Structure 1
Amino acid sequence: DLPSSASKFTKGDTAALNATFESASNENEVIPDVEVNNFPDEYVLPNIGREVLAHTEFDVRQLEDISKPKVQTFLTKLNDVVVNSKQAVGTDETFTDTFVDDLLRIAKLNRFPLRIRNQPPTKLYIQDVARVISVLDFVIEKKNSENRNIVVVEDKHLQNVGYATDFGEQQIAVEILSCGSENIRSLGEAPRDQTIWAIRVISTYATFYKATITAMYWMELANGLPKEESVKIQRWPAENGLTTGFDLAEPEGRRSVLTALTKIRESLL
């Protein structure tokens, strides 16, 4: 039997759902290839990297060229995450939570018709029975859309994930499927193909995922665990590890993440 909680999922459980991860060969396989409009360039901050942010005495008021309060708040929260990531104990994920919430808003993912939902419960239905419950950190929804849940965000402390769960990917797999399952039930009609993105943030390292789930998969899942249909979840950057994602503590990492989020937003509008 599958675990009732997404956080308990193992590789075997994900295999039972015929869901697998694969490394994308290029960025466009995961991130939409669309024009970027209204890019929040002021948050790239080319002179601010991990070396600066790692100081426990970091004070954004000492940076004379950064005077906008919203950017100062962003950097202060990022400093909290970087400093907290060095702690072997007291692995508090709330620092990452509040920083990621800001990041999503900076990318305008909380602007109508999109909206952020914090820690919404979602359920994966198999044979019309709720088999797995997930409580996600964030979900981005689009109002009046056939796909209500479109972006899944899961964040972790460096000490709270490891190799046994593929650094949290097993949980991400079932969370993607749970969101898709909720979408189907909200429609009240026959299943249709869905595309769902996910973002994993481990401390300051962000990885993007994309899954296209066919109507045939949902139809088979309605009759039990799938035997014929499958789901492939593509990953970018391609490698999977604790620190293989784009590093938000570095300028180029911030540019890459904000560009990806902006492109996802543009593709949804």
Structure 2
Amino acid sequence: MSFNDLKKFLLPQLDIQTLANREFKAKNLKDISDEYVKGFLNDLNKVIKESVTTEDQIDTLVNNILGNIFEFHAYPLRIRLNITGEPYVTAIPDYLVDWEDINELVVEDKQLRNAALIPSKGYGEAQLAAELLACGSENMRELALRKSDVMSDQIIFGVRVISTYFTFYKAVISAKYFNELDLHLPLKESVVIQRWPENEHPKAGLNILKPDERLEALGAFAGIRKYIVNKWN
């Protein structure tokens, strides 16, 4: 999806007060004909109204963004939900996007009152970091099955969704890190995880209730998808 395509989600006339209104109905937006946009707005309104006590609506919003808007479940991309029973993934993300079994994108979502969103737990970032590393380890095992003498550096993306706040991450994991990890806890090599926006606090993320920040967040998803597709093609 191009930047121009994303502009249909900008909708500056729909401010926070409008989207948070309990009487909001997407079907009443007669000037919007795109059903994907209406579906997105409907999900967003549900998150605002109900995410204080449950994560179900956030899950629905994230699933819509990944699967419908950006087609992360169009072959060879695939979305795995709440993976369990995987022998090499011990940290379990809410959503995992892979390209023919190679993990590319981890998404973790929570509502604002989640008990994990405290400074001592890095506002959920410690969990996300563990998931990124676990997915990198799983990738190494999968690649070794395909070609045992190949070890490559990896880039895995992550997204933390807290209600309507989106924070993006890029983990750079070197092959040397896993080589050292096979011997002992890494002393020389390290993993670099970049965060955008830079502040770790949940409410410092891009708030998709705000038109400009909504466009930035959706643009980030588009950029991640483009990177993954270009990498494998």
Does TM, scored on the shorter chain, surpass 0.5? yes
**C-alpha distance in structure 1 between counterparts of 2:10 and 2:71, whole Å:** 16
> What residue identity is the alignment partner of 1:183?
N
Per-residue CA shift, 1:126-153, capped at 9, x if unaligned?
A: xxxx6x7122111111127xxx001100
> What residue identity is the alignment partner of 1:261?
F
> What residue identity is the alignment partner of 1:191?
M
- Tell me the SS of whatever aligns to 2:113: helix
Say whether 1:137 aligns with 2:137.
no
Q: Is contact 1:40-1:107 (8 Å) kept?
A: no
TM-score, length of structure 1 as denominator length? 0.77
- Tell me the SS of whatever aligns to 1:151: strand
Report the alpha carbon displacement of residue 233 of structure 1 after superposing the two structures with TM.
0.6
Say whether 1:231 aligns with 2:194.
no
Report the alpha carbon displacement of residue 116 of structure 1 after superposing the two structures with TM.
1.4
Say whether 1:157 aligns with 2:123.
no
Within-5 A mapping of 1:252-267:
252-267=212-227
> What residue identity is the alignment partner of 1:240?
E
Paired residues, number? 222
Q: Is contact 1:45-1:251 (8 Å) kept?
A: yes
Q: Is contact 2:3-2:219 (8 Å) kept?
A: no
TM-score, length of structure 2 as denominator length? 0.88
> What residue identity is the alignment partner of 1:244?
A
**C-alpha distance in structure 2 between counterparts of 1:116 and 1:74, whole Å:** 18
Q: Is contact 2:40-2:64 (8 Å) kept?
A: yes
Report the alpha carbon displacement of residue 38 of structure 1 after superposing the two structures with TM.
6.7
Instruction: Give the match for residue 246 of structure 1.
Output: 206
Higher deviation after alignment, 166-175 or 110-119 = 110-119
- Tell me the SS of whatever aligns to 1:109: coil
Higher deviation after alignment, 250-259 or 148-157 = 250-259
Q: Is contact 2:48-2:163 (8 Å) kept?
A: yes
**C-alpha distance in structure 1 between counterparts of 2:224 and 2:71, whole Å:** 11
Say whether 1:115 aligns with 2:106.
no
Say whether 1:94 aligns with 2:48.
no
Higher helix share: 2
% identity of equivalent residues? 40
> What residue identity is the alignment partner of 2:184?
G
Instruction: Give the match for residue 55 of structure 1.
Output: 21
Q: Which has the higher contact order (CA 8 A, sep 6+)?
A: 1
Per-residue CA shift, 1:158-203, capped at 9, x if unaligned?
A: 0012222111000011000010011011122243210001000100
**C-alpha distance in structure 1 between counterparts of 2:131 and 2:152, whole Å:** 18
- Tell me the SS of whatever aligns to 2:212: helix
- Tell me the SS of whatever aligns to 1:39: helix
Instruction: Give the match for residue 139 of structure 2.
Output: 183
Structure 2 gaps, min length 5: none
**C-alpha distance in structure 2 between counterparts of 1:177 and 1:94, whole Å:** 26
**C-alpha distance in structure 2 between counterparts of 1:65 and 1:155, whole Å:** 31
Per-residue CA shift, 1:60-92, capped at 9, x if unaligned?
A: 22222123333222111100111224x3xxx21
Say whether 1:170 aligns with 2:126.
yes
Structure 1 gaps, min length 5: 1-34, 125-129
Question: Which one of 41, 44, 57 corresponds to residue 75 of structure 1?
Answer: 41
Report the alpha carbon displacement of residue 112 of structure 1 after superposing the two structures with TM.
2.5
Per-residue CA shift, 1:88-128, capped at 9, x if unaligned?
A: xxx2111101101111131232223222111124879xxxx
- Tell me the SS of whatever aligns to 1:108: coil
**C-alpha distance in structure 1 between counterparts of 2:155 and 2:98, whole Å:** 13
* C-alpha distance 37-245 of structure 1, shift in aligned 2 (>3 A): closer
